[in-house]
Structure 1
Amino acid sequence: MEKFIIVTESGADLPLDLAKAHHIHVLPMHVVMDDVDYLDGSIPVTDVYDYYKRTKKIPTTSAINPNEYACLFQKITEENPGCIIIHISYSSKASCTYQNALIASEDMKNIYHVDSLNVSGGETAIVLKAVELIEKQPDIDPKRLIEQLEYFVSIARVSFIPGNLEYLKAGGRLSNVAYLGASILQLKPLIEIVDGKLVATQKFRGGMKRIAEKYLNEYIGRHNMDKEQIIFIYSLGLEEHIKDYMEKVVKEKGFKKIIWVQTGCVISSHSGPGAIGIVGFKS
C-alpha cells in the first residue's frame, strides 16, 4: 500500500503516461459548450476549436465542485486505509478548485493541500516535484513535505504566449481595439504567472517561430534556472519545427530532462491553438 497518494486536477495538463506511472489521481474540470457540461478530457481539444469557429465564442470552464472532491477523497481513503492524500491544486487565484477541495476535506484528517499558484505545466511541475520528494523520502512527515512543496511553488517560473489572440478577445481578456492593434502590428503578449495570477508583462512582435526563439532565449537569459528539468507547454496547433527548435536550444544549454505538456480543453479554451509556454525552477 502506498503511504502517499497524489491528487490533482485536469487543468494541470499532466501527461497521461506520467499520471499512470506514478498512480496520480486526476479529477476532471468542466467545459461547457452549447449548454452541455463536458468533463475535461472526455472530448478532444479539436471540439473546443470547432466550437469557436462555429460560434465565435470560447467555452465556459468551471471548477470541480466540493462533492466531486469529497467522493474521490472518500473513495481513495476507503481503498487505502492509513493513506495520506496530497492534493496539489490549480491556482486559487484563477479558480475556486482549491477552496472547494478544502470544503470537501473539512472532516478528513488524512488530506493535505498545496495551492500550486499555477496552471497547466506549472501545476504539473509541482506534482512531479511531489513525486520526486516522496520517492527520495518515503517516510517524510506530511507537514514537512508540504513545506518543501510550497518552497518549490515560490521558485517556479512559468509563462506562456497565447497562440490565437481571438480567444483572448472572445473571453473578454483583450479589447477589440487592442486586438486590432496587436493583429496589425503582429504583436503577442507574454503572460507570466505572478503570485498565482496571469499577468501580461511584455509583447513580442513577428511570426510565431521568431517569437518563440526570442521568448526562449530571453527566458533562459533572465532566469538562473535549475537545469535538471524544463517543461514546455503547448496547445494543439503549434508547428513541429518550433518544438524541435526549442528542444534543440535547451539541450545545447545543458538541460537534462525535457517534458512536453499538451494543454487540454480547459487551458486551450483560453490560449487558443498554437500556444507555447515554459516552466522551470530557479536554481
Structure 2
Amino acid sequence: MRRIILSTESGADLPNDLAEKYNVQVVPMHIIMDGKDYLDGSLPVQDIYDYYERTKKIPSTTATNAHEYQEFFASIREKFPDCIIIHIGYTSKASSSFQNAVIAAEELEDIYLIDALNVTGGLAGIVLYAAEVLEKEPDMEAERFVEKVEAIVPKARLAFIPGSLEFLKAGGRVSNMASLIGSLLKIKPCIELKDGKLISTKKYRGKMISSTEKLLRDYFNGFNIDRERLYFIYSIGLDERIKQRMDEIAKENGFQNIRWIQAGGMISTHSGAGGFGVAGLEQ
C-alpha cells in the first residue's frame, strides 16, 4: 500500500514532539510585525508581546498562500515519493489558508484536503485523531481514511478565554465581536468554534482563575467529551495556579491523559498573553 502522509498548518499548534512522532508535515502561516513578514514559528512568541508593550500595536497575521502550498506539497512528495497527502486545514471560515491549499492542489494527484473547521487545539485534536487511526491501520485505503477523519470534524469542540480582549478585538475574527464592545474591561468572554466560526458564547465575570474554572465546568457539562483525549491550550503568561486547577478538575471528571499545548505565534497574536482553552472530541 502507498504511504499516507498527514499535513496541517502552524495554526494547529501541534507540539513538535507529536508532529515528529506521527511524521505530520506542518506549513507555517505568517505574522506581520513592524512591517516585517515572519513565518509562524520562526520567532519566539514572547517577541509578539514585547512588541505590543513597546509600541501598543498588535501584529497582524496572514494565511499561507497558494504558491507556498505548492512548494510545501512538492517538498512532501520529494521526501516521500509516491505518497498520498492528506492535508487537514485551519478553518476556512476564519482564514483563506484552506482555499489557498485547494488552489495549490488543483493540478496535483493523490492529495485530499479536509477543512477541519477548527483552530489551535481543536485542529490539533483532529490531526492527532487521524494520526492515531493511521498508526493502528496503516494500510487503510485513503478514501475510507478521509471519511473517518471527516466524520470526526463536527465532534471537535474548542472553547477558550483570550488573555487580552484588545488582541481579540484587533484580530477581527470573532463573528459577534460587536456584542462585546463597551464591556471589554468587565467581562471575560468564552469563544467557541461554531460551524468553523469563532463565536462569543458566554461571558464570565471575575478573576481569570474563577473564569477558567467556570469555563471548564461548562465545557464538561455541555459536551460528552471522549475521556481518552483532552487538550488544554495556553498562551504565555497563564498563571501556573490555573494550570494546576485545570488539571485537578479534568482528573475529577475522569480524564487521565491530558496534554498541554502552548499557543504559537498565529494564535497568540489573536488571543494575547495569559489565555486558556480546552479542546476534545465528543463521543
- Does the pair score TM above 0.5? yes
1:181 aligns with 183
Query: 1:66 corresponds to which residue?
Result: 66
**Cα deviations across residues 87-132 of structure 1 (Å, max 9, x unaligned)?**
0100010111111111111121121111110011111001101101
* In 1: Cα distance, 2:89 partner to 2:28 partner: 12
Q: Which runs of 4+ in 1 moved over 4 A?
A: 172-175, 177-180
Is 161-170 or 39-48 further displaced after alignment?
A: 161-170
Q: Which amino acid aligns with 1:124?
A: A
Instruction: Go from structure 1 to structure 2 and tell me whether the alpha carbon gap of 1:272 and 1:214 turns closer, same or farther (over 3 Å shift).
Output: same
**Can you list the C-alpha shifts for 1:135-188, whole angstroms capped at 9, x where unaligned?**
11111111111111111111111111111112123445656x9555331x3x11
- Identity, % of aligned pairs? 51
Measured in 2, the distance between the counterparts of 1:97 and 1:256 equals 34
Q: What residue identity is the alignment partner of 1:59?
A: P
Question: What amino acid is the match of 1:275?
Answer: G
Residue 14 (structure 1) aligns with: 14
Partner of 2:249: 249
Matches within 5 A, 1:126-205: 126-172=126-172, 178=180, 181-183=183-185, 185=186, 187-205=187-205
SS at match of 1:209: helix
**Following TM superposition, by how much is the alpha carbon of 1:2 offset from its aligned partner in structure 2, in angstroms?**
7.3
Letter of the structure 2 residue corresponding to residue 201 of structure 1: T
Q: So what's the TM-score if we normalise by structure 1?
A: 0.94
Runs of 5+ consecutive residues of structure 1 not aligned to the other structure: none
Q: Is the 8 A contact 2:7 2:88 kept in 1?
A: yes
Q: Which residue of 2 aligns with 1:265?
A: 265
* TM-score under structure 2 length normalisation: 0.94
Distance in 2 between residues matched to 1:263 and 1:133, nearest whole Å: 25
Contact 1:57-1:171 within 8 A present in 2 as well: no
Task: Please state how far the C-alpha of 1:47 moved relative to its aligned partner.
Answer: 1.0
Q: Distance in 2 between matches of 1:268 and 1:200?
A: 17
CA contact (8 A) 2:3 2:84 kept: yes
8 Å contact kept, 2:2–2:82: no
CA RMSD of aligned residues (A): 1.7
Q: Where in structure 2 are there 5+ consecutive unaligned residues?
A: none
Count residues in correspondence: 280
Aligned position for 1:87: 87
Secondary structure, counterpart of 1:181 in structure 2: coil
Number of the residue aligned with 2:210 = 210
Paired residue type of 2:99: Q
Partners of 1:254 and 1:2 lie apart in 2 by 38
CA contact (8 A) 1:165 1:179 kept: no
Matches within 5 A, 1:219-234: 219-234=219-234
One-letter code aligned to 2:15: P
Deviation larger for 126-135 or 54-63: 54-63
Q: Which amino acid aligns with 2:184?
A: A
Contact 1:235/1:272 (8 A) holds in 2: yes
